[in-house]
Structure 1
Amino acid sequence: MEVGVCAEAYGQEMSISCRHINSAFMTFVVLDQEGRPRSLPMLAPEQGDGERRYREASARKKIRLDRKYVVSCKQTEVPLSVPWDQSNKVYLSYNNVSALKMLVAKANWALAREKEKVQMYTLEEDKFLSFRIEMSVRITACQAFSLLSDLRRRHEWDSHYLSAELVQQVDDDDMIYHVVSQTLSSENKLQDFVILASRRKPCSKGDPYVVAFRSVTLPTHPATADFTRGETICSGFCIWPESEEMSKVAYYNQATPGYLNYVTTNVAGLSSAFCATFEACEKFLLKNKEDDLIVRLQNL
């Protein structure tokens, strides 16, 4: 909750018009009995000055996040991608999955936005701004896992994806894709990525289905002048069965410098693109769940 404070000065006679001295804005966090931040109820600003103050407060929140994670971030000093070859494939695949599981297990996730069935959480830790978006969908966890683990279909629901080409089938559960994004870089070029996708089924009861992504360097697909090469350090889906027909689908991303401006815009409440993308994801899952079930039965 942001509180604005205004300091004014008056002369000895109160009738003399006041002078504005300074303005300040403070952010208050109310904790629950367990020491975790409590969420405010959804508030609607009053028309006129209330709406103006609301927009200004959202802009200040974005500026604070940008200063903390964009301006002072040192991530760009070293590459985030790791070289891929056959000798280290087991190590990279294991670390791809374990990094996502470690991000999922972190505490202190704070609810940033909520729209209908979609919730967005943020985590500020270790000079990284991470976020997760989750929703419940009427689909089995196995079906959602199958549909979301194929990056070649992501453009069907994610407007940021233009295409994804499978360039190397490492094994049944690990693939390398060349992804072209529709997002323009600061150089006014489309971005492309070389991404290792590692999917894992639950090892024991209570574990989620996991689809983990991270950038790798592949000699056959070097950066080119046509695109700006982007990188992702840790992202992916975790899917938990809630019942026989319902699943909780959560997407996690440890934001990198090239993606932070888009993230902070959404976190600050200046855009609802995240929620719209996940709503499109739900429609994709519901539309294709029967087709996916038929294909998997045919493969048995």
Structure 2
Amino acid sequence: IRNHVCIDFQSSYYNNVSALKMLAARTNWVLTSEKNKVSLYTLEENQMLCFKVETHVAVAAEQVFLLLSDLRRRKAWDHHYQECDVITDSDEDDSVTKRGKVQDFILLASRRRPCDSGDPYLIALRSVTLPAYPPTEDYNRGEVLCAGFSIWEEENTFTKISYYNQATPGVLPYISTDIAGLSSSFYCTFASCSAFLEENKESLASLPTSTL
């Protein structure tokens, strides 16, 4: 299975990261709400709702990247996650993971360090199909078109975190049914994320490649 995934998803690795970069580069984001330095932006087009959440933390960008790259730890700060299992590591920067709760997802996770000074760290997520993991009666299989984190290093070990999601109609009800609810949900989630990062800012020097 490991070799099969490596062959089948080579083009998906590039598309995964490229799609996140294109979403992040959009210039028509609308600031919808802001609370305690957590900002929610939305973008509606082609019958889809895209959203961006931004916050800042007093944690080094490399450490933020390492902590958020380990999707198995996301349940520590995101109440939407009950569990996340690594299905296969395609290489040190790409893996396929299974997330499960009432809805489950099969996600290709790709992480990239900056290529040049001033570039962000990237953690890109998108749904993929694996014959070995078909939908089951126990869970409603969801789809993520494009999601992920852009992590920018700033001065004095401050880091700007931007989270993006291009939501499908099937995912939106799982998150919230209105913008007000969406704002409240993401404020709570990213306040928890900031606390998680602060509490663990000294806990890791590096991650083994098998964790992503």
Mark yes or no: TM-score above 0.5. Answer: yes
- Tell me which residue corresponds to 1:87: 7
CA deviation vs aligned residue, 1:26-71 (integer Å, no higher than 9, x gap) = xxxxxxxxxxxxxxxxxxxxxxxxxxxxxxxxxxxxxxxxxxxxxx
Q: What is the distance in 1 between the residues matched to 2:170 and 2:36? A: 29
- Structure 2 residue corresponding to 1:249, chosen from 157, 161, 165: 161
CA contact (8 A) 1:265 1:271 kept: no
* 262 and 113 in structure 1: CA distance in 2 versus 1, 3 angstrom threshold: farther
Q: Any idea what SS the aligned residue of 1:280 has? A: helix
Alignment correspondent of 1:219: 131
Alpha-carbon spacing, 1:137–1:228, altered in 2? closer, same or farther (3 Å): same
Contact 1:266 1:272 survives alignment (8 Å) = no
Equivalent residues in 2 for 1:190-205, closer than 5 Å: 190-205=102-117
Q: 1:251 to 1:295 in 2, by over 3 A?
A: closer
2:84 alignment partner, SS class:
strand
Q: Which residue of 2 aligns with 1:179?
A: 99
1:209 alignment partner in structure 2: 121
Question: What SS class does the counterpart of residue 274 from structure 1 fall into?
Answer: helix
Give the stretch that moved more between structures: 258-267 or 274-283: 258-267
Bigger Rg, structure 1 or 2: 1
Report the Cα distance in structure 2 between the residues aligned to 1:274 and 1:100, rounded to whole angstroms: 19
Q: How does 1:102-117 map to 2 (within 5 A)?
A: 102-117=22-37
SS of residue matched to 2:109: strand
Give the structure, 1 or 2, with the largest relative contact order (CA under 8 Å, sep 6 or more): 2
SS at match of 1:290: coil
Shift of 1:87: 2.8
**Alpha-carbon distance, 1:257 to partner:** 1.1
TM-score by length of 1: 0.65
- 1:190-231 residue CA offsets vs partner (Å, 9 max, x unmatched): 111110000001111221100000001112111111111111
**1:1-300 equivalence runs, <5 A:** 85-181=5-101, 190-261=102-173, 265-268=177-180, 272-293=184-205
C-alpha displacement of 1:160: 0.3
Aligned length: 205
Quick one: distance in 2 between partners of 1:235 and 1:291?
26
2:40–2:183 CA contact under 8 A, matched in 1: no
* CA separation of 1:270 and 1:283: change in aligned 2, threshold 3 A: closer
What is the deviation of 1:140? 0.7
Residue 161 of structure 1 and its aligned partner are, at CA, apart by 0.2
Deviations 1:111-157 (A, max 9, x none): 00110110000011232210000101001111000000111000000
* Deviation of the 1:295 alpha carbon: 6.5
| TM-score using structure 2 length | 0.91
Residues 102, 295 of structure 1: CA spacing in aligned structure 2 closer, same or farther, 3 A cutoff? closer
Shift of 1:293: 2.9
Percent identity, aligned pairs only? 51
Asked if 2 retains the 8 angstrom alpha-carbon contact of 1:266 and 1:273, the reply is no
Please tell me the root mean square deviation across aligned C-alpha atoms, in Å. 1.8
Q: 1:231 to 1:294 in 2, by over 3 A?
A: closer
SS in 2 for 1:272: helix
Unaligned runs of 5+ in 1: 1-83, 182-189
Per-residue displacement from partner, 1:215-267 (whole Å, max 9, x unpaired)? 01112111111111111010000000111410001100001111223556452
Q: Which runs of 5+ in 2 are unaligned?
A: none
Query: Do the aligned residues in 2 keep the contact of 1:122 with 1:131 (CA within 8 Å)?
Result: yes
Shift of 1:291: 0.6
What is the CA–CA distance in structure 1 between the aligned matches of 2:206 and 2:10, rounded to whole Å?
32
**Large movers: runs of 4+ above 6 Å:** none
Q: Is the 8 A contact 2:121 2:151 kept in 1?
A: yes
The one-letter code of the counterpart of 1:98 is S
Contact 2:42–2:52 (CA under 8 A) maintained in structure 1: yes
